[in-house]
Amino acid sequence: MPGKRKTMGKIALITGVTGQDGAYLAEFLLKKGYIVHGIKRRSSLFNTERIDHMYQDPHTEKRNFILHYGDMTDSMNLTKIIHDVSPDEIYNLAAMSHVKVSFDTPEYTANADGLGTLRILEAVRLLDMIRKTKIYQASSSELYGLAQEVPQTEKTPFYPRSPYGVAKLYAYWITVNYREAYGLHASNGILFNHESPIRGETFVTRKITRAMAKIALGMQETLFIGNLSSRRDWGHAKDYIKAMYLILQQDKPDDYVIATGITAEVREFIRKTFSSAGMDLLFTGSKENEKGSIVNIDDSLFIEKAGKEYLANIKKRILSNPVMVRVDKGYFRPTEVDQLIGDATKAREKLGWVPEYDLDGLINEMVSSDLHLMKKENHIKNGGFKTLNYFE
């Protein structure tokens, strides 16, 4: 891995810098001595919470973290930013990234996620930056969809199952095409699901860790969930953004699967989340009637994680109604990706990439963070102040 001296002063442009991966990657590249430019969307509310700790006032001299307004659906805007920034590396992370929402906004998803990638590639070509600028494309394990092989490798045929997956399929192949047609250093990272304490609140893992924290503190009754049986290969975003960086440090562009090689059901993720705070869940029933109930509490673990003051309340709640998890068909998708498990052998051998987190480590970190967050909300509420309501 190149040291700080080799990367000092390099210029990176990150689309989607306000997202989970964009925020972690920006922090990582700044530590390596990069000058980081990020593209953020105009929004009627602040949308920079994940990157605010890195913010530098525009009046500061010699900034190394600079934001630009932009949108993946606006070619001229993207071309101008790439021209002005003249990046050594572009990390194209911006996307409408929610699979379920892509069924509601298929055309927009195709535009932002599919054509958006073309706009970046074409800008680099038209600006005559092919020899200067390397491009990372955020490809996805959603490409495998109805998986044709277990585990999935770089050679497994794609079979996407959502407008999101199909848009990302276009983005994958247009990246390969620009590499082959014009010699661009353009690579796909085919990343399997990766999560963190700053994961978007409506993805299943964060929805679960937030709900568990609220239930433990008496702020929520029930976690309503969709397909409990789908399986995902979940890793930690902090590990995965390192793979993005490594992919662009290679002499030759190429495509890589990035995954942990371990798969678990949504049901198992829920069980592990509750048990990491001392609550044992038992699932009974089937299909839409399946339920998750607390059958035991490890008092000392609960006190350590949630706090002594919340123990009596959860025990009382269990006596009146131990059911904490119920299925809501509204969260089912028209076509589902039933199971994903990746084989990252190529990334391990060629990039030297190995994840540091396992699933338990990931869940522990997310649980601690969401318990902390919800306790803060509780204190604000108990102090007589209004807290924000987010409906998930």
47 binds, among ligand NAP, ligand G4F, none (CB under 5 to 8 A by kind): ligand NAP
Residues 87-116 as x/- pattern, contact with ligand G4F by CB under 6 A = ----------x-xx----------------
Distance CA 44, CA 60 (A): 26
Is residue 204 a contact partner of residue 269, using CB atoms and an 8 Å limit?
yes
Q: What are phi and psi of 198, to 5 degrees?
A: -105, 20
Total interface residues for ligand NAP by CB under 6 A: 24
Q: Which of residues 151-210 bind ligand NAP (CB under 6 A)?
A: 191, 193-194, 200
Q: What are phi and psi of 252, to 5 degrees?
A: -110, 140
Distance CA 50, CA 72 (A): 20
Other Cβ atoms less than 10 A from the Cβ of 5: the count is 9
* First-to-last C-alpha distance (Å) of the chain: 40
Q: Does 96 bind ligand NAP (CB under 6 A)?
A: yes
Distance CA 173, CA 186 (A): 11
Q: Does 350 bind ligand G4F (CB under 6 A)?
A: no
Segment contacting ligand G4F by CB under 6 A, of 38-46, 123-131, 225-233, 356-364: 225-233
Instruction: Identify which of 7, 16, 27 has the alpha carbon closest to the alpha carbon of residue 89.
Output: 7
**Residue of 21, 89, 239, 254 that binds ligand NAP (CB under 6 A):** 21
Residues 262-291 as x/- pattern, contact with ligand G4F by CB under 6 A = ----x-------------------------
Total interface residues for ligand G4F by CB under 6 A: 23
Q: What are phi and psi of 4, to 5 degrees?
A: -60, -35
Q: Does 97 bind ligand NAP (CB under 6 A)?
A: yes
Q: Which of residues 24-83 bind ligand NAP (CB under 6 A)?
A: 41, 43, 47, 71-73
Q: Does 156 bind ligand G4F (CB under 6 A)?
A: no
Question: Least Å distance between CB 226 and ligand G4F?
Answer: 3
Q: Does 392 bind ligand NAP (CB under 6 A)?
A: no
Distance CA 165, CA 161 (A): 6
Distance CA 147, CA 187 (A): 22
**Residue of 67, 93, 184, 281 that binds ligand NAP (CB under 6 A):** 93
* Pairing, β 279-284 against β 291-297: antiparallel
Positions touching ligand G4F (CB under 6 A) are: 97, 99-100, 140-142, 192-193, 202-204, 207, 225-227, 230, 232, 266, 331, 333, 336-337, 340
